[in-house]
Structure 1
Amino acid sequence: MIESVKNLPDKPGIYQYFDKDGKLLYVGKAKSLKKRVKSYFRFTPTLAPAPTLGPRIYQMVAQAVRIETIVTPSESDALLLENSLIKQLKPKYNILLRDDKTYPYIYIDLSEPFPRFELTRKVVKGKRVKYFGPFPHGARAILDSLYELVPLVQKKGCLKGKKACLFHQIGRCMAPCEGKIDEKEYAELVEEAFSYIHHKKRLQRALEKRMHFYAESLRFEEAAQIRDRIEAIGKIEEFSSADLARLEDLDIFAAAFDDEGGVLVRLFMREGKIVASSHTYLHLHDETDLSEVYRRSILEFYGSETPFTATAILTAHPFDEQEELSALLSERIGKHIAITTPKRGDKRRLTELGVQNAKELLRQKSLRPKPELPEKIRDLLGLRQAPERIEIFDNSHLAGEAPVGAMVVREKEKWDKSSYRHYNLTARDEYHQMEQMLSQRIGSFEKSPPPDLWVIDGGETLRQLALTLLKRKGVDLPVVGIAKEKIDAKAHRAKGAAKDILYTDEGEMRLMPSDARLQWFQRLRDEAHRFAIAFHKKQRLKEDKKISLLEAKGIGPAKVKRLIDYFGTFDAIKEADLETLGRVLNKKDAQSIYLYLHPPSTDE
């Protein structure tokens, strides 16, 4: 490897370290590949990791046997490529950030005569679009409250009508559709809504009055809705300081570490107030990783379509490539974005506030009882860290018919049902069905990064299939198979206790049925199985109904498709009268379908 290190180009790009098994260990970026990669090594008396490296990176370099590089046109391109590869491939020694979601903003387009407030996670086109946020919590509660308290245009379609609707009758809209309010008067209502967004306490007081009014009027369901909104808005952190009121809008990033790990805190200041915050826990113990923490967090938080409502970004610590990242964000967002680390004054106090909050989060985390089971799973599988996000796969079919696949997701010991996925499959055997399903999931890694662990309903053959597919993509992801013990080719259960076997990198594992670790995997598998079976039944029902229509005289697949395209569902076809059927098929076919679905009654 010494020759490949010495002969690297003096150009920007990304570098990748691989171990003896060909697994990707680390992805990094560099202004000069030659200088950056050389800094990892000492060359005398033999090639070895540089003694100045932090423990994590020192261990990585010690395991590396091969280096691959990709030259890029600029350092900005290298930054983007590095971030993309880390999210997709999950290298063992890179920092993996789970909190890469975008937060909602409230926006209003002031170029419209009677504008409305909406939620967005992306930039909205328009020269007079005003944003509020981001809101890690409570955005929907604030938006609904604005329409509860201020008589704005309630729905998008309201202005299309020319007559005042129910909202005007109950005092929730001033009916600009009938000209009962002009643009100047409506603008005053918008200013009132602005004041509620800027002053959350005032918003909560107004909601409390409305809640009491509903309760006294015995409208308890509406009162409960207001109560829930008040609680959601109350979770939004907000405090002010007279000394800071003159500062511009700022986003603050601050990190802290202890013996258990690290945390990155984001504070969002608007008009001199911290209006929201969020944080991400890091599985790190070494402050030498600060540059990567800040670089990746900022790069992922501000996507190409994310609204940028601050005037600058402050960080609690200086980091490498700070100026390059500033230039990249400025180009991405279309205006100059400064990333600075203040050394004194009010802005320094803000970053210190971020660090203080990060340390408090670590302190609170240390006081919480540690969940034992995830740690036991980590030790059982020999993983670097306890898996937080797990994807579980299963497929279902009946004698090869209507094959479907299912993926369910468990994150932080809760089912993430919004991430569940169904797969319509075409393969006839279980091996190729699993191959088809996993290949589709791997193809979506760029949009939805890999989890911490895959669990496959199946034995070692299917586990090896998953590992092969992941290796082709270059993804280092642990895979566990779970299958029922088979005796004489039949799945065995004794006295209700499942004799399930785990297949892992550590080999075949036969745990006792009472072992909590085995039961954990069984719960994962059973949820995937339930989800797959439910979808399979739905598909079979569709197929059965379709087949029943084909039994009608003279009705072929093409005509069935015309009926489905027109009516949408089989139930709608059954409910249609003869005249309506005749609009889709000729008279003879319409009569044939109608008589098949509505056979004449016969007297006994």
Structure 2
Amino acid sequence: MNLKKTITQLPASPGIYQYFDDNGRLLYIGKAKNLANRVKSYWLFNPQLRPNPNLSSRIIKMLQQTTSLNYIVVNSEHDALILENSLIKQLNPKYNILLRDDKTYPYIYIDNSEKYPRFDITRKIIKSDDITYYGPYSIGARDILNSLYEIAKLVQKKGCLKSKKLCLYHQIDKCLGPCELPVSKERYQKEVDLATQLIKNKKLLLEKLQNKMEFYAEELRFEEAAELRDRMDKISRSEIKSEIDFASNENFDIFAVDHTDERAVVVRIFMRHGKIISSSHDYINLREGFDANELYSRALLDFYKDERPPIIAPILIAHAFEDLLLIQKHLSRVFEKKATITMPKRGKKKDLTALALLNARELLKKDTKTKDLKTFQDVQELCALENTPYRVEVFDNSHMAGVATVGAMIVYDNGKFDKKSYRTYHLDAQDEYAQMRETLSRRVESFSKNPPPDLWILDGGATLLKLALEILDSNGVTLDVIAISKEKVDAKAHRAKGKAKDIIYTKKDIFRLKESDKRLQWVQNLRDEAHRSAITFHKKTKLKLDQESKLLSLHGISAAKIQKLLNYFGTFEELKRLSIEEISAVLNEKDAKTIKNFYK
């Protein structure tokens, strides 16, 4: 069915629509309360089908590339919103704006129903009737918590009260010792009140930490002084400085978006009890232009996700956007109470959004282009990549004769390795091809929570490159992929004077670049980091396997029997979960009982 006919036959129902180009590449995913009306608004039908000239240049460019359309009907506009957000993350359409912020921000909380309550950290609502939350904190939550226990004489650890015996914390005057001493509730409450005051008043907290640091320095306890210095620095960086004081207990979550031609930034500021307590921001690479509605919608959907936050605050935004009421309705479901999203036009609330916008503009000014930008662009041109490879995921596998088989994924983001995003995988597959299939398949399964990057790089040749493209295609994801392998002479990796003769494989070409070529060196650097990560995880895994094998051998289970079990069940972790009957299917019942007793 041609595009015009598909459009004219769309149902007047809620749903999502997907535009594709002539290569089957997904260009754009949109949602609609009425599919027929929404999609028809993009087009003029006479004298022939063409884009509506009243649309933005970004959308017109997208429609000019469109040759086909798919759609999915759902029950409501709300369902369409959720499906659209999920599919954009998984499928990475060319013209949609993709946020990669999958963080959940921590809160500090205290359970006041306990006799001697203590502060701790959570990212979710705790099931208790008398919880008080403080936050969220973009950075520094753990540092604030540790500082409370440095200054206030609280029960330091969860298990302290169970011991019924005074410990070191009491001896060094960091705990009142209610585990053994008759500490009154009133006396302990004074310490709780002090800690609460320090959470609410960061300036006072930093002053007390400064005094502690100077004391440690005078006592020549330099390591402890240095630790407090670093902690103070992190706490100080967790918020935007402002003279705005509401002189009230009002809470607000403030969002602002600004952009240049190439990058956008989302700024979030959190005000609690009339004071700004923390802030955060994220940069977004604009592949095909800016869309305020899409960026605000995605920022709010991704931040609040589908879980009721511990503290629900009115939301202030710097700009109005098309889907405001729909997002507000969705968040009301998530919060289990009416959510409010407003764009203030005057007064102190307006000052807050102006502050967020000011910081967004400053962040864009400071956003110097990465030193590797020319290399990114050169690699993009050489390999005919769809997108500039700002964010890259690189994969490698490692094993020793089929033992301790692992996979590793490293992430390179805007000129530096993003080690928090690294992932490692225990693999069941035995050969290199199946191992890479398992690694990549598991990564694709996580796209809904952790969206695809701009580029995949594989440590391997044309066969693994083809495998990756097949996996992506079968999941409806269009993503640039290249592979790098060592040149082989007589089926062996060739090295000349210690230098690897590496080959880069793309979908259409093979490149043998000089060792001095910056593009080759860039790909090699990323491949080598993935190799290092895989080898490190392999060694760690094998050491653990060797230790468990030795312990089992001491209980009469031979190395041959252990290998037989691992070949059949995969890992020791799986072995621990099995019943005697299941193990007996591979070994005899006596050995099965020995193994179960060992793990007990």
TM > 0.5: yes
* 3-state SS, counterpart of residue 223 of structure 2: helix
Deviations 1:330-375 (A, max 9, x none): 1112222101112222222221222221111112225886743333
Tell me if the contact between 1:54 and 1:286 (Cα under 8 Å) persists in the aligned partners: no
Counterparts in 2 of 1:282 and 1:161: CA distance versus 1, 3 Å: same
Residue 172 of structure 1 and its aligned partner are, at CA, apart by: 0.8
| 1:574 alignment partner in structure 2 | none
Structure-2 separation of matches of 1:453 and 1:285:
13
- Letter of the structure 1 residue corresponding to residue 170 of structure 2: H
| 2:158 alignment partner in structure 1 | 156
Structure-1 separation of matches of 2:493 and 2:162:
63
Structure-1 separation of matches of 2:157 and 2:348:
43
Structure-1 separation of matches of 2:366 and 2:11:
47
Tell me if the contact between 1:240 and 1:272 (Cα under 8 Å) persists in the aligned partners: no
Structure-2 separation of matches of 1:585 and 1:171:
55
Counterparts in 2 of 1:448 and 1:259: CA distance versus 1, 3 Å: closer
Residue 463 of structure 1 and its aligned partner are, at CA, apart by: 0.6
Tell me if the contact between 1:257 and 1:286 (Cα under 8 Å) persists in the aligned partners: no
Counterparts in 2 of 1:74 and 1:131: CA distance versus 1, 3 Å: same
From 432, 456, 459, the counterpart of 1:457? 459
Counterparts in 2 of 1:148 and 1:553: CA distance versus 1, 3 Å: closer
Tell me if the contact between 1:257 and 1:287 (Cα under 8 Å) persists in the aligned partners: no
- Letter of the structure 2 residue corresponding to residue 125 of structure 1: K
| 1:321 alignment partner in structure 2 | 323
| 2:7 alignment partner in structure 1 | 5
Counterparts in 2 of 1:242 and 1:47: CA distance versus 1, 3 Å: closer
Tell me if the contact between 1:257 and 1:285 (Cα under 8 Å) persists in the aligned partners: no
* 3-state SS, counterpart of residue 405 of structure 1: strand
| 1:227 alignment partner in structure 2 | 229
* 3-state SS, counterpart of residue 450 of structure 1: coil
Counterparts in 2 of 1:439 and 1:239: CA distance versus 1, 3 Å: closer
Q: Does 1:445 align with 2:447?
A: yes
Tell me if the contact between 1:267 and 1:274 (Cα under 8 Å) persists in the aligned partners: yes
Residue 319 of structure 1 and its aligned partner are, at CA, apart by: 0.9
Counterparts in 2 of 1:16 and 1:287: CA distance versus 1, 3 Å: closer
Unpaired runs of 5+ residues, structure 1, are 570-583, 591-604
From 202, 210, 213, the counterpart of 1:211? 213
What does 1:161-180 correspond to in 2, within 5 Å? Answer: 161-180=163-182
Residue 383 of structure 1 and its aligned partner are, at CA, apart by: 3.9
Unpaired runs of 5+ residues, structure 2, are 567-571, 574-588, 596-600
| 2:192 alignment partner in structure 1 | 190
From 466, 476, 489, the counterpart of 1:474? 476
- Letter of the structure 1 residue corresponding to residue 256 of structure 2: A
Structure-2 separation of matches of 1:288 and 1:220:
50
* 3-state SS, counterpart of residue 108 of structure 2: strand
Tell me if the contact between 1:259 and 1:285 (Cα under 8 Å) persists in the aligned partners: no
What does 1:218-367 correspond to in 2, within 5 Å? Answer: 218-241=220-243, 244-246=246-248, 248-284=250-286, 289-305=291-307, 307-366=309-368
Structure-2 separation of matches of 1:94 and 1:371:
22
Structure-1 separation of matches of 2:406 and 2:238:
42
| Two-structure CA RMSD over aligned residues (Å) | 3.1
Residue 237 of structure 1 and its aligned partner are, at CA, apart by: 2.2
Structure-2 separation of matches of 1:547 and 1:105:
42
| 1:495 alignment partner in structure 2 | 497
Structure-1 separation of matches of 2:213 and 2:512:
57
Residue 295 of structure 1 and its aligned partner are, at CA, apart by: 0.4
Counterparts in 2 of 1:319 and 1:542: CA distance versus 1, 3 Å: closer
* 3-state SS, counterpart of residue 352 of structure 1: helix
Deviations 1:94-116 (A, max 9, x none): 10112231221111122222211
Counterparts in 2 of 1:480 and 1:370: CA distance versus 1, 3 Å: closer
Residue 182 of structure 1 and its aligned partner are, at CA, apart by: 2.2
* 3-state SS, counterpart of residue 315 of structure 2: strand
Deviates more, 1:546-555 or 1:140-149: 546-555
Structure-2 separation of matches of 1:43 and 1:254:
38
Counterparts in 2 of 1:6 and 1:374: CA distance versus 1, 3 Å: same
Tell me if the contact between 1:395 and 1:403 (Cα under 8 Å) persists in the aligned partners: yes
From 433, 436, 439, the counterpart of 1:434? 436
- Letter of the structure 2 residue corresponding to residue 302 of structure 1: Y
Deviations 1:70-116 (A, max 9, x none): 12222221111111111111111110112231221111122222211
Query: Equivalent pairs: percent with the same residue?
Result: 52
Deviations 1:215-239 (A, max 9, x none): 1112111111111111111112254
Structure-1 separation of matches of 2:533 and 2:241:
45
* 3-state SS, counterpart of residue 171 of structure 1: coil
Residue 208 of structure 1 and its aligned partner are, at CA, apart by: 0.8
| 1:133 alignment partner in structure 2 | 135
Tell me if the contact between 1:263 and 1:280 (Cα under 8 Å) persists in the aligned partners: yes
* 3-state SS, counterpart of residue 482 of structure 1: strand
Residue 520 of structure 1 and its aligned partner are, at CA, apart by: 1.2
Tell me if the contact between 2:407 and 2:425 (Cα under 8 Å) persists in the aligned partners: yes
Counterparts in 2 of 1:122 and 1:376: CA distance versus 1, 3 Å: farther
| 1:79 alignment partner in structure 2 | 81
- Letter of the structure 2 residue corresponding to residue 43 of structure 1: F
| 1:599 alignment partner in structure 2 | none
Deviates more, 1:146-155 or 1:194-203: 194-203
From 415, 423, 426, the counterpart of 1:424? 426
* 3-state SS, counterpart of residue 159 of structure 2: helix
Determine which structure has more spread, i.e. the larger CA radius of gyration.
Answer: 1
* 3-state SS, counterpart of residue 482 of structure 2: strand
Residue 204 of structure 1 and its aligned partner are, at CA, apart by: 0.7
Tell me if the contact between 1:266 and 1:277 (Cα under 8 Å) persists in the aligned partners: yes
Tell me if the contact between 2:380 and 2:389 (Cα under 8 Å) persists in the aligned partners: yes
